[in-house]
Amino acid sequence: MGASDMKVACIGLGSMGLVMARNLLKAGHDLTVWNRSPEPAAVLGREGAGHATTAADAVAGAEAIVTMLANDAAVRAVFLQDGVLDAMSSTTVHVNCATISIALAEELAEAHHGRGIAYVAAPVFGRPDVAATGGLNIVAAGPRPAIAAIQPLLDAIGTKTWVVGEEPEQANAVKIGGNLMIAAAIESMAEATALGAATGVDAKTMLDIYTGTMFACRAYQSYAPMIAERRYEPAGFKLALGLKDVRLALAAGDAANVPLPFASALRDAMLEAVAAGDGDKDWSALAETARRRAGQGRG
């Protein structure tokens, strides 16, 4: 594999996958793309990427496959049910950037190993605007030689790669835990500002104080303006997907006998938000659930 001219297939071109694929194309890689809905693939086709009609065609002859599918069901359908794994070469490295369950990560690792195909889990931290600048943080786990081989791809889509182990599910555990912490940050700001509103304190004032002092970090600073302004669209990360990730954390906790009581509370709050019609909004719309509970309405 060359450092800047790898033959790469990208599968899954949602809001994150599209910009990641575009960065790989800009980095000079020979890119072929596939997506269930053809429009994003057509966009990249006009920018110089090859556009495969099937996922199996996309992976044929690829040195590396980068996937960013939405959830367990999509990953399972493409790789384990539609036969794409069987169409891959034993010299290919599969880099799965999706946030999936620990159980599926283990199953995929076993399925790849049985076919002699290297599998690397590389979920990412960052929203689409960060991805567009190549500024993602990537959490990688898998065979060290495979990670080294696809490092040029990771460098094209991210600013730093954090290698956490040789078992792919380890990266997914870190990603799920991180998303749980972000959800907790959103919920804590939501509840705090609802309390402040009950006494007439402006949400922006409160959040400016918090993010400028005790919580002067990216997770709080990124979501505080959205909560203060009640600006939840367009969604950088949909609330329904956040609920999916909290459920992944709970499932992993159940499997490992690790109690996650706050995750249960977050699941209930996010489920309430989805039931109220906020599932397609940014997950910072969780703040509206706290406001509704406090009888503060939309306002």
Q: Which amino acids are annotated catalytic?
A: 175
Joined tokens for residue 50: 């090859």
Residue with tokens 């033959």: 7
Contact 161, 138 (CB under 8 A): yes
For residue 12, which of 48, 66, 56, 54 has the smallest C-alpha distance? Answer: 66
